[in-house]
Amino acid sequence: MSAVAESFTHVVPLAGSDNPLAGLLARQRAAFNARGEPSSLAERREMLRKLEQALMDQRLALADAMAADFGGRARQESLLELFVVIDDLRYAQAKLKSWMRRRRVSANWQFLPSRACLMPQPLGVIGVIGAYNYPVMTTLSPVVGAIAAGNHVMMKPSSLTPRSTELMRQIISSLYKEEVVAVVTGDSSVAKQFSKLPFDHLVFTGSTRVGKLIMRDAAENLVPVTLELGGKCPAIVGEGYDLKTAAETIVQTKFLNAGQTCVTGDYAMVPEASVPEFLQHARNAIKAFYPKLVDNQDYGRVLIKSDWTRLSDWVEEARGRGAKVETFNPANESFGPDNRVFPPTLVSDCPTDTTLCREEIFGPVLPVLGYKTLDSALAHVNAGERPLALYFFSNRSADVERVLKRTISGGVSINGCGYHAIQHNLPFGGVGASGIGAYHGQAGFDRFSHLKPVLFMSKLTKASVFLRPPFGVLAAWVLGFMLHNRPRRENL
């Protein structure tokens, strides 16, 4: 780690506590409990508005910080990342009144005319652990839902992006009291301490391997978790779909942020006869998008040096097993672990038992696999862990329905890549090895709320009275009536 990074890697000091993290959590929980009642609509809206305005004011500084952390990153990519958070903030402010309302539900017919409702209440203190690939979005997007739901928040951004983390810390500390929203900074040992705290809910974004450790730590205190992980997200091109459109879309998403996107198409599956044409369109797209690599801020860097070596090893393993590897370096530039520029790489004829085909790549390498039938492609997908996202390109509605019904994934985009993950009304999350739980929009508000069930018993409701001991003929009749009578079908 560089000296600059080390200067930002510290635990926020807190006076009067031997354990700063536990002390901060205790103070946040005490402040939350001291309120007596949850924060009002106006208070929550103001908290969200302040964060929106601060991110707008600091958007260029945040983009510059992310570029410095990555050693080069397109400003447009960073502004797109910020847009996702800012758009979430605006949507939450617009919808918060309706989200906070009590939600009327039907009481059982045996208890009519009693009334029932679900009453949203904040959980308490929410912990958030962000990831390095999108340091602002993965840290602040869950915070939007947590604040909207009326919680206090402790967040731990990635230590691998020290400049972005420090700027976020400065922004948050200028907006909120530490007892309400706070940023904790530090290395992996601090993150380990953080994950062991008895939060009311803990959100983690990162790898499946680390997600297992986070869940194990949280389980010690019975802390519920939301885990946003990853996996091998397939991009399947259906028979008859325009190959040029599919190739350009997959390439655009795959090489965004140097492939370090959890919902990117990890690999492409194309009808066997169409693989050569798809590869040609993919080559053309790469050359058009990235005429240079090193001297090009539009082409991202692999953030971690060891990941550069890992990717190189995986590609060479595939090459040694007979795969065809194509790397693109249009301007004949030099790159390696030191400048962290990994060239866009296409891999075809790749054995399915190579590491590239078994593990999440998380880098600018796209394996292209041929398939004989759509059923065989789906069998390949279903043989692995549940992916965070699945992409299918097809204009045949029957094939689309087959894919939707026969696969299980965190989310799906048809004829596109990635953008389902930022829709307000589509919960974002994984399933199985790709994650637990989801947020965004109302799903985020609900995730960080307790929807407390409340029953208002009517004086006219006599079912419980008739079932009091000593049991006799009347109780037997009432039970018989309840057992043999069903509600009308429209109420089922």
433 DSSP 8-state letter:
G
In tens digits, the chain (492 residues) has pLDDT values of 333 333 333 344 333 346 899 999 999 999 999 998 999 999 999 999 999 999 999 999 999 999 999 999 999 999 999 999 999 999 999 999 999 999 999 999 888 899 999 999 999 999 999 999 999 999 999 999 999 999 999 999 999 999 999 999 999 999 999 999 999 999 999 999 999 999 999 999 999 999 999 999 999 999 999 999 989 999 999 999 999 999 999 999 999 999 999 999 999 999 999 999 999 999 999 999 999 999 999 999 999 999 999 999 999 999 999 999 999 999 999 999 999 999 999 999 999 999 999 999 999 999 999 999 999 999 999 999 999 999 999 999 999 999 999 999 999 999 999 999 999 999 999 999 999 999 999 999 999 999 999 999 998 887 777 778 888 888 888 888 888 887 665 444
Question: Is residue 150 classed exposed, middle or buried when 0-12, 13-18 and 19+ CB atoms within 10 A define those classes?
Answer: buried
Nearest to 82 by CA among 104, 61, 106, 113: 61
| Residues 386 and 430 sit within 8 Å (Cβ to Cβ) | yes
175-204: string of b/e by CB count within 10 Å (b at 16+)? ebebbbbbbbbbbeebbebbbbbbbbbbbb
212: Cβ–Cβ under 8 A, 6 or more apart, which residues? Answer: none
Using alpha carbons only, how large is the chain's radius of gyration in Å? 26
Q: Which helix (H) or strand (E) holds 377?
A: helix 374-383
Beta strands in 289-341 (DSSP E): 324-327
Task: Report the C-alpha gap between 88 and 332 in whole angstroms.
Answer: 42
Which residues are CB-neighbours of 223 under 8 A, at least 6 positions away? 127, 197, 198, 199, 200, 201, 202
Phi (first) and psi of residue 6, to 5 degrees: -65, -30
From 262, 350, 357, 417, the catalytic residue: 262
The closest of 37, 9, 64, 217 to 127, measured between CA atoms, is 217
Specify the pLDDT at position 485.
81
DSSP one-letter code for 396: -
The answer to whether 190 and 174 have CB atoms below 8 angstroms apart is no
Which of 278, 295, 267 has its CA nearest to residue 355? Answer: 267
Residues in the chain: 492
The whole-model pTM stands at 0.92
Give the span between the Cα atoms of 21 and 14, in whole angstroms: 8
Q: Which residue among the candidates 52, 77, 81, 228 is catalytic per the annotation?
A: 228
Q: How far is CA 47 from CA 127, 151, 179, in A?
A: 18, 11, 14
Q: Is 228 a catalytic residue?
A: yes
pLDDT for residue 8 = 32
Q: How far apart are CA 5 and CA 477, in angstroms?
A: 75
- 490 is known as an active-site residue: no
Q: In a 10 Å sphere around its CB, with 0-12 CB exposed, 13-18 middle and 19+ buried, how is residue 258 labelled?
A: buried
Per-residue pLDDT, 489:
59
Q: How far is CA 385 from CA 142, 230, 245, 262, in A?
A: 25, 10, 28, 14
Q: Who's near 41: CB < 8 A, 6+ residues apart?
A: 96, 97, 100
Q: What angle do CA 57, 157, 417 make, to 5 degrees?
A: 80
